[in-house]
């Protein structure tokens, strides 16, 4: 079965074509700068040279046409005809309150997604454009949506309601939704498999630490709490986002500097976090480099990240009455032994102890158990693979159609 996975951004369209029988990626790439004059297309196939071209890509439909031409091209292609595509899996950022799992996207679902773009103005319209383009160009192919929020739809009310007047939840659906759900679900399931325990019998804390970061508590196979909230802005300090702050800080700065809501949004989303504190970069590698040169603000930013993660792990251990494992994933979680080591330091109270040699060696591909021999809680490094999870969900759904 061949599944095309599509991730539509406001000005980009990423794709990955899977052959699910072999669990292999046939091709992947990105159409960039859609709707911005000259755009570009990059198309990659394993073991073959990459293809790159500059072209005007007026809209998501044009991007999809370009990628369909590429994957069926005589020289650059990986399939003979688009009829070989059995289904399309779409990465959709927000499924609102109603969508609780991956699902076929028909007319009703599209209308629902359109109705919730107000709470998802950045990614909502882009996701819809991607689905619409696929429905036009691949009219007989099932379209499946896999939602960043849906894994967290199992959170109890007391985990997702904000302590605001309840009417704002009723009027505007302001609540914690959580994001990165596909990644948390994938690595938590992998972790359970590594431990040889059914997912439904595990308690796992997954730390997705990348440019955007979140931590999730999964109890007996379900997300029961997560650090991102109404938007991906909540929770941990991130590359350029604040994470959780005293909300009054924002209104104070807005008044003091006479800022509009858009300007304030920009500050907390694009100019804050590791970048805002360090003044160096949003990239953890550059901040770590500066820290070793004695840059105090770089050290401060790193200490804040480490403390944020420790606090959340501690709170989820309290919420779940312990856990079987902690998992590190995404750019920082998978690649930075230094950050993993600092997070796990002085956590032996919880039974968290890592083997430093295994920790350093773990920065490769594949799941690695870095637990020290006397650690009673497992610690894993597990590379995330959201695209594979999307393809797998899509396959499972279309097989039942």
**Residues 6+ away with beta carbon under 8 Å from 342:** 302, 306
Contacts of 13 (CB under 8 A, 6+ apart): 6, 7, 30, 31, 34, 60, 63, 64, 67, 130
Looking at 33-41, 95-103, 221-229, 330-338, which segment touches ligand AMP (CB under 6 A)? 330-338
Count the residues of the shown chain that bind ligand AMP, applying the rule CB under 6 A: 11
State the binding string over 75-104 for ligand AMP (x if CB under 6 A, else -).
------------------------------
Q: How far is the CB of 291 from ligand AMP (least distance, A)?
A: 11
Does position 9 bind ligand AMP by CB under 6 A? Answer: no
One residue of 335, 359, 371, 394 binding ligand AMP per CB under 6 A: 335
- Asked whether position 285 contacts ligand AMP by CB under 6 A, the answer is yes
Identity of the residue, 13 or 66, whose beta carbon is nearer to ligand AMP in the bound complex? 13
Closest residue to bound ligand AMP by CB: 331
382 lies in the site for ligand AMP, by CB under 6 A: no
Name which of 218 and 336 has its Cβ closer to ligand AMP.
336
Give me Rg for the CA atoms of the chain: 22
Per-residue burial over 54-64, b if 16 or more Cβ lie within 10 Å, else e, is eeebeebbbbb
Binding part of the chain for ligand AMP, among 47-55, 294-302, 329-337, 367-375 by CB under 6 A, reads: 329-337
Tokens of 96: 């609102």
Within residues 10-49, the interface with ligand AMP by CB under 6 A covers none
Task: Provide DSSP, 54-72.
Answer: EEE--SHHHHHHHHHHHHH
Closest distance to ligand AMP from the beta carbon of 51 (Å): 23
Cβ-based nearer residue to ligand AMP, 201 or 364: 364
Q: Nearer to ligand AMP by C-beta: 5 or 395?
A: 5
Q: Which residues are catalytic, by number?
A: 148
Q: Does 327 bind ligand AMP (CB under 6 A)?
A: no
Of 285 and 399, CB closest to ligand AMP: 285
Choosing from 192, 284, 320, 379, the residue that interacts with ligand AMP (CB under 6 A) is: 284
238 binds ligand AMP (CB under 6 A): no
Beta bridge partners of 216: 206, 226
247: enclosing H helix or E strand: helix 247-257
Q: Select the span of 81-89, 98-106, 151-159, 283-291 touching ligand AMP (CB under 6 A).
A: 283-291
Q: Report the residue number, 91 or 175, with the smaller CB distance to ligand AMP.
A: 91
The residues near 12 (Cβ < 8 Å, ≥ 6 apart) are: 30, 31, 32, 33, 34
SS (H, E, C) 329-359: EHHHHHHCHHHHHHHHCCCHHHCECECHHHH
State how far the Cα of 339 lies from the Cα of 363, in Å rounded to an integer. Answer: 12
Helix (H, G, I), strand (E, B) or coil at 89: strand
226 part of the interface to ligand AMP, by CB under 6 A: no
| Nearest to 239, CA basis, from 178, 280, 299, 180 | 280
| Region of 118-126, 247-255, 289-297, 328-336 interacting with ligand AMP (CB under 6 A) | 328-336
211 binds ligand AMP (CB under 6 A): yes
Q: Which of 229, 239, 276, 375 is in the footprint of ligand AMP by CB under 6 A?
A: 239
331 is a contact residue toward ligand AMP (CB under 6 A):
yes
Cα separation, 54 vs 42, in Å, equals 9
Does 341 bind ligand AMP (CB under 6 A)? Our answer is no
- Phi, psi angles (nearest 5°) of residue 380: -125, 150
Q: What is the DSSP code (8-state) at residue 371?
A: B
Say how far apart CA 251 and CA 261 lie, in whole Å: 9
Nearer to ligand AMP, 201 or 363 (CB): 363
Name the residues that contact ligand AMP, by CB under 6 A.
210-211, 239, 283-285, 330-332, 335-336
């Amino acid at each position: 079965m061949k599944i095309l996975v599509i991730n539509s951004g406001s000005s980009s369209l990423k794709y990955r074509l899977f052959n699910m029988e072999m669990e292999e990626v046939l091709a992947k790439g990105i159409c960039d700068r859609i709707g911005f004059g000259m755009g570009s297309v990059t198309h990659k196939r394993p073991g073959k040279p990459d293809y790159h071209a500059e072209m005007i890509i007026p809209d998501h439909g044009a991007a999809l046409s370009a990628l369909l031409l590429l994957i069926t091209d005589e020289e650059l292609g990986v399939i003979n005809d688009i009829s070989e595509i059995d289904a399309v899996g779409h990465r959709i950022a927000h499924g609102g309150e109603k969508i609780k799992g991956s699902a076929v996207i028909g007319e009703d679902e599209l209308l629902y997604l359109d109705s919730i773009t107000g709470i998802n103005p950045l990614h909502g319209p882009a996701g819809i454009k991607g689905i619409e383009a696929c429905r036009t160009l691949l009219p007989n192919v099932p379209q499946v949506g896999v939602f960043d929020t849906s894994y967290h739809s199992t959170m109890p009310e007391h985990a997702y309601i904000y302590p605001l007047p309840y009417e704002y939840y009723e009027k505007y659906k302001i609540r914690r939704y959580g994001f990165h759900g596909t990644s948390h679900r994938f690595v938590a399931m992998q972790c359970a498999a590594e431990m040889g325990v059914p997912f439904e019998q595990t308690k796992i804390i997954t730390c997705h630490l990348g440019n955007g970061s979140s931590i999730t508590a999964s109890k007996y196979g379900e997300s029961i709490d997560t650090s991102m909230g109404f938007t991906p802005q909540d929770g941990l300090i991130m590359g350029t986002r604040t994470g959780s702050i005293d909300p009054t800080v924002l209104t104070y700065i807005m008044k003091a500097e006479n800022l509009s809501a858009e300007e304030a949004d920009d500050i907390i989303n694009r100019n804050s976090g590791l970048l805002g504190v360090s003044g160096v970069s949003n990239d953890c590698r550059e901040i770590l480099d500066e820290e070793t040169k004695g840059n105090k603000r770089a050290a401060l930013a790193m200490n804040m990240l480490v403390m944020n993660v420790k606090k959340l792990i501690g709170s989820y251990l309290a919420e779940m009455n312990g856990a079987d494992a902690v998992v590190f994933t995404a750019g920082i979680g998978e690649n930075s032994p230094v950050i993993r080591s600092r997070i796990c330091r002085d956590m032996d109270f919880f039974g968290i102890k890592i083997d430093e040699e295994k920790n350093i060696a773990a920065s490769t591909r594949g799941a690695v158990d870095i637990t020290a021999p006397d650690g009673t809680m497992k610690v894993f490094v597990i590379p995330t693979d959201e695209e594979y999870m999307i393809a797998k969900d899509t396959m499972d759904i279309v097989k039942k159609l």
